[in-house]
Structure 1
C-alpha cells in the first residue's frame, strides 16, 4: 500500500468561477462550502482507497483514482484539507479479488482508518460492505454497479450508478415493452446477475418476456454465444459486459449478424473500448453512466483539468464523487462515523453528471443517466449525446436497509 497526503493543484480553483460562489448560497450545502468550515485539531483525515490498480479492471481503477484526485481538489478548493485537517490517503490494490480487498480493508481498519472507498468490482464491493458494518467504518463503493450494495447496511454508500439505473436508461429505448421479447446477453457473476435481475424487474415488469444468456466469465470464443443470441429473435438485446474481452465479444456479435437483427442496447464502456466497435458502433444504441461531453458544469471542468490529456473517461466521475462525499462526511462528522453517515443521508450536491442526491432510506445515489449514439469510425469513433435522463426517470426502487 502507498500513502500520501494529496495537495491538489491550485490551478483547479480558477475553473470554479461564479457558479461555485452561487452554489454556496443554495439550500443544499456543497463540498466546497463544507471545506471552508473549521474542523478538528489539525490531525489528518485518513482515507483508505482499496481499488483495482492491477487485474482485469485496472483501467477502471486508473480512472477512479484520477477522478478522486481531481474531486478532492475541487471539494477542498485546491488545499487538500477539510478545515485545518489534511486529507491523508493510503492506496491498496485489490486486483479485482475480494479476498485481497477484505485483507487490505482489515489492515487499514487496524491502523485506525474510519473511511474506506473504492471497489472497482461488484464482487469486491459486496464483501467490503459487510466488513464496514462489522467494524463501523464508513465505506463508499466506487464503479461497482451491483444493486446489492444499495441498502446493504447503514455504513455503506456508493459514488457510482447501479445496474437498475442502467436498465431504466435502456427501457427508455423501448417505450412499449408489453408483448416484446428481451434477451440479456451478459457474463456470469455478480455484475451479470445484477443486470439480468434488473432487466427482469424493470422491463419484464412492464410486460416484456425476458431471457438471459450468461456467458462464462473465462470465455474467449464468443461465436457460439453470438449465434444463440441471434437465434433468440429478441426485439431488444441488452448487452451488459465489463473487462478486457469486450472487443472479441462485439466482433462476434457483429460477425454473426446480431447487431442487424434486433435493437441492441448497451452501456458505453471506457474510451479504450470505443474503436473496438468498428463499423458496428453506429448500429448500437447506447445507455450511458457517463461519457465526455454528456455534461458541462464547474465540476466537469475541474475533472477535465485533472485527468490525462483533458479527456474524461467512464469512471472518472465515480472517483470525483467519492472525494466530494468524503469531504462532506469528514466536515460534518469529524471522527464520528455515525455522524458521517447522518451527514451523507439525504445529501444533495452538484457533481460531474449534474445534481446528485444520496437517498436517505437506502443510500442509493440518484443521478442523471444518458442516451448516446456513436458517430465517426475507427479511432475517431465517439459518442454523441442524444438525451440526458432526469434523475427522477432513472430512480431505482427503495431497498430495505439490511443493517
Structure 2
C-alpha cells in the first residue's frame, strides 16, 4: 500500500513536469478591433472670473444747506458753573463727530465768539451759542431770535429746568426739535412732554433709582429730608417709591424743611431719633453745608449711613467734607466709564479748559453726538418730522456708553454710577473708588391724556399703582 502511494505521487509529479514543458497551443487571434474615435466635446469658453464684490461704501452725510443749531446755556447766571460743563463738552462732542475742531479753534471762548462751524463729512453744521443766565424770560427771547433770525433747525439746552419748560413750548410751536441738556426735572418728559422734546440728561427719578439700587442692598430702614417745594417733594416721592420697591422701609414721615433753612438742628434731631439705618438727603443749594454740619453735631454722621447723590467736582469739597467713606450714586464722574469716547473727553478737556470733565460734561457731549447721529439717520433731512422720527427709539454711543431714547416718552436710558468717596482733596478731583454701574428705568410720567403712549411701561410710579 505504501509502495502504491509512492508510485502514485511519482506519476503525478511526472505528469505535472511534462505538462509544464509542453508548449501551449497558439490561440487563433481575434481580428483587431479599431477603436472608434472618441467624441471630444466642444471646448467650453471659460466665463470671465468675477471680481470680488466690495462692500458697499457707507453713505456719507450730505446736507444741501448748512445745518443750524442753537445752543442755549447759562454763561453768566446762577447756574453758570454747570453751563460751562455743557458749553465745552458740546464743542468737544462736535469735534469728535467731525474729526477736527470747529472754526473757533480747539478751545471755545464765549467772550470771543458765539459761533462755531464744523464739517461732518459733507455736511456743514453751524452752532450759534446764546446765554440765557437761567432766566426763563431770557430763554424765550433768545430762542425766538435763534428760530426767527438765525433760522436754526435744532435747539439744545438748557441748565435750568424752569427755563427749559419755556424752551419746550417755543420749540413745539415752531416744530423745532429740542435736545435737553442738562436739566433734570421729571416734568420735562412728564407733564410738559411734547413730541419735539428729547433729553440726553437723566431725570430725578433716575437719580432715586440709582441711589436706591445700592442703598437697599445694604440698609433696610430709611428716613429722608428734602426742601419744602416742588423739587424736594417730587424727589422725596421718587426716593420713597424706588427704595420701597427695592425692599426698603421708611420708618417715619418724610421731613420737609424750608429752602432757606439755616439751622437744621431740630430736623436732624428727628432723623437721629427715627431709628433708621440710613438717611436720604435731597437738597439743592447752599443749605447742604449747614445741614451736614447739623448732622455731624447730632451724631447722625457717626450712627447712620448717608444717602445723597454726589455732585460736581467744585462743590464736593465744600458740601461733602464730612461724608468721607460714604457710598452713593452719581450721574457721571470722569473716572467711572471705560470707553474710547470718554477717553477722548478726558484727554481733551483738561489741556484746553484747565479742569477735568465734570458732572454734566457727558450730557453736553451726548447732545452733540445725538444730533449728528440723527442727521445721519435722516440723510441730512432737517425737517422736524424727519428728525423726530429718527430720534424716537434711537441708540448711540457716548462717554457714558450706550444711550437709548425711549420712544414712549423720550427719556434717555443711560448708565449711572455708584461710587465710594475716598477724599475731597485730590488736585485732579479723583475723589472716588468705583463700586458699580447701574442703568435705571424710570416709570412713564406722561400726563393722563397721553397715558396711552406709555404702552407697557409702569405708569406714574415704578409699581404702576
TM-score range, shorter chain: 0.7 to 0.9
How is 1:81-96 mapped onto 2 (pairs within 5 angstroms)?
81-96=119-134
Specify which structure has the higher proportion of strand. 1
TM-score (norm 1): 0.81
Q: For 2:343, what is the secondary structure of its paired residue?
A: helix
Match of 1:39 in 2: 62
CA deviations 1:341-365 (Å, max 9, x no partner) are 1111111121111111111111111
CA drift at 1:182: 2.9
Is 2:149 the counterpart of 1:126? no
Unaligned regions of 5+ residues in structure 1, if any? Answer: 1-24, 26-32
Aligned length: 366
Match of 2:106 in 1: none
The one of 46, 59, 62 aligned to 2:84: 62
Question: Contact 1:345/1:360 (CA < 8 Å) preserved in 2?
Answer: yes
How is 1:339-378 mapped onto 2 (pairs within 5 angstroms)?
339-378=386-425
Question: Contact 2:220/2:277 (CA < 8 Å) preserved in 1?
Answer: no
Question: Contact 1:233/1:261 (CA < 8 Å) preserved in 2?
Answer: no
TM-score (norm 2): 0.71
CA drift at 1:229: 4.0
Match of 1:382 in 2: 431
Unaligned regions of 5+ residues in structure 2, if any? Answer: 1-54, 102-117, 454-465
CA drift at 1:277: 4.5
Following the alignment from structure 1 to structure 2, what is the Cα–Cα distance between the partners of residues 297 and 126? Answer: 33
Q: Which moved more, 1:311-320 or 1:380-389?
A: 380-389
Q: For 1:303, what is the secondary structure of its paired residue?
A: helix
CA drift at 1:131: 2.4
CA drift at 1:136: 1.2
Match of 1:312 in 2: 357
Q: For 2:179, what is the secondary structure of its paired residue?
A: strand
Is 2:345 the counterpart of 1:303? yes
Q: Which structure has more RCO (C-alpha within 8 Å, separation ≥ 6)? A: 1
CA drift at 1:149: 1.6
- CA shift in 2, pair 1:278/1:290, >3 Å: closer
The one of 77, 101, 106 aligned to 2:139: 101
Is 2:230 the counterpart of 1:216? no
Specify which structure has the higher proportion of helix. 1
Following the alignment from structure 1 to structure 2, what is the Cα–Cα distance between the partners of residues 350 and 247? Answer: 37
Question: Contact 2:222/2:280 (CA < 8 Å) preserved in 1?
Answer: no
CA deviations 1:254-279 (Å, max 9, x no partner) are 33333223221111111012222465
Question: Contact 1:45/1:88 (CA < 8 Å) preserved in 2?
Answer: yes
Match of 1:191 in 2: 231
Following the alignment from structure 1 to structure 2, what is the Cα–Cα distance between the partners of residues 189 and 60? Answer: 22
Q: For 2:308, what is the secondary structure of its paired residue?
A: strand
Question: Rg: which structure is higher?
Answer: 2
- CA shift in 2, pair 1:181/1:243, >3 Å: closer
Following the alignment from structure 2 to structure 1, what is the Cα–Cα distance between the partners of residues 135 and 219? Answer: 40
The one of 364, 369, 374 aligned to 1:324: 369
